[in-house]
Amino acid sequence: MSTSKNFLVNAFQSGRIDRRSFIRRATVLGISLSSIEAIVAACTTGGSGGGSGSGSSIKWSNWANTGEIQRFKDFTANYNKSHNTNVSYSFIPSANNNYFSKILTELNGGVAPDCFYVGDGDIGKLVANQTVMQLNDLLDSSKSKEKASDYLPGLWGASKTQSGKIFGVPVDCNPLLLWYNEKVLQNAGITTMPADLYEQGKWTRDAFQEMMDKIKASGKYGFVLDAWDMQYYCWVTTNGGKVYDKNGYGDFIAHEDPKSVEAFTWLADNTKKKTIVYAGTLPKGQGSDLALISGQTGFISVGRWDLPEFHAASGMKYDCVPFPAPGGKGGPAPVALAYMVINNKTKLKDQAFDFLTNYVSAEGQKFRLQGGGNAVPSIQSADTETVVTAGNDPAHAQYLIDARNVGYGLFPAEGNVPGLTDDIKTALDPVWLQGKDVKTALSGIATMANPRIQRAQQNAQ
């Protein structure tokens, strides 16, 4: 942003000019309408992205559904009460829809929050354009409640560069597992539940296939495959396949890996015969969660985020189990993540980091997730893990901890390329929707993705 634009924004933020004058002058200076709207909105809520320097206020933001907002407000209020500081911390919730676009607009306008969430597929862009702070020195210092080594090593994703620079900390996590409706399975004639087979070392893909076939024969969906590439990668990596080389930082190689091709082909064959139903073909307004709750499907794949919904469903009996695999117990599965970052332009860096480290600490995660939370702590700690296993909801909640311990975040190679996740999903849609050839689709993804991945690597910090 030019000097004149910065001067104008600062004048508006400090109250030296009114709203009407700001909008008129901003338009003359060529500030986009979306940026003007973001600046006005942030100032209306008291925001001053990164603080004013004399600053008495730190703003933080994330996406939140209605049920989560109060929990974040409570954390913020407790932090303000328990920390002796002359800085006031305030939470600015945002809808998940267009959240990242809004953050980008606010960053461009100089009014982004001091701390904020970034999704695993978006953080790479902020690392590349250097709009968020590198955190290594702070995490290693006495100012940090936890060290980087306290977090599960597979969860850093694109928040950590190949050279080891850290730009975001996992706030918590959501390991993907299979969740099932016991009544649907029982009505299909299934007497031994998946978790029992898993404990016996017999939870193979053949066993899962047999269950899906029985459920389909009973008039229900066997499994709903959600439209998200990490949902496809579950079946690859638990089957022993590879999606990217160089430990997730290199080229897309699924088209060359026999186990990967086999896993994708298995998914495609089952969607063709409708044993697996692609979520993109479900009736309008119906997602996989509703399909499971209403008894339309036996299995779906989600993290812990749907647990409050399952818990509230009257009479529903549900449980979770890892993905089936050769030998009964397979390789790692993906973990959905968000990261807390610090705006590089904040004038209150120490205060922003103090909030961040308390928020993502073992104590902070326990505060946020206890009593029916919808995620799993990203710190390996027996004390924090009780928020997941307390009450045995679901019966095999320990599987969430086990999956987290060996799981992995979105591959950095993919997370570092803006839009690549969506492009991969789009490239695979014809496989699930039209029965197109798997190997041709995977080869097309490699051709599309790898030059972009290589450019991102060249620009990496």
Q: Read off the DSSP letter of residue 246.
A: G
Domain match, 422 and 316 both: yes
How big, in percent rounded to 5, are the helix, strand and coil portions of the chain? 50, 15, 35
pLDDT reported for residue 37: 58
For residues 117 and 62, the answer to whether their CB atoms sit within 8 Å is: yes
* Residue 109, domain extent: 49-172+338-390
159 domain residue, yes or no: yes
If you average pLDDT over residues 316-339, what whole number do you get? 94
Same domain assignment for residues 232 and 189: yes
**55-80 average pLDDT score:** 87
Q: Establish if 92 belongs to a structural domain.
A: yes
Q: Tell me: the pLDDT tens digits for 261-305?
A: 999 999 999 999 999 999 999 988 889 999 999 999 999 999 999
**Residue 45 corresponds to which amino acid?**
T
How large a percentage of the chain has pLDDT more than 70?
87
pLDDT of residue 50: 41
Give how many domains the chain has, as a whole number. 2
Mean pLDDT across 141-159: 96
Tell whether 454 is covered by a domain. yes
pTM: 0.87
Model confidence at 26: pLDDT above 90: no
> Which CATH number do you get for residue 244?
3.40.190.10
Domain co-membership, 132 together with 62:
yes
Predicted confidence band of residue 51 (pLDDT cuts 50, 70, 90): very low
Q: What is the pLDDT of residue 3?
A: 45
DSSP string computed for 189-238: T--S-HHHHHHTT---HHHHHHHHHHHHHTTSEEEEE-SSHHHHHHHHHT
- Answer yes or no: is 141 within a domain: yes
Cβ-in-10-Å burial (0-12, 13-18, 19+) of 224 comes to: buried
Do 132 and 258 share a domain, yes or no? no
144 confidence band (pLDDT: 50, 70, 90): very high
Among 20-34, 73-87, 213-227, the range of highest mean pLDDT: 213-227
Do 197 and 313 sit in the same domain of this protein? yes
Torsion of CA 174, 178, 180, 186, to 10 degrees: -160
- Say what the pLDDT of residue 45 is: 41
- pLDDT score for 12: 57
pLDDT at 405 over 50: yes
Domain check: are 279 and 423 in the same one?
A: yes
- Structure tokens given for 82: 């328990």
| 316 and 348 assigned to the same domain | no
* Residue 25 confidence (pLDDT): 65
The whole-angstrom separation of Cα 115 and Cα 343 is: 6
Q: How far apart are CA 454 and CA 230, in angstroms?
A: 21
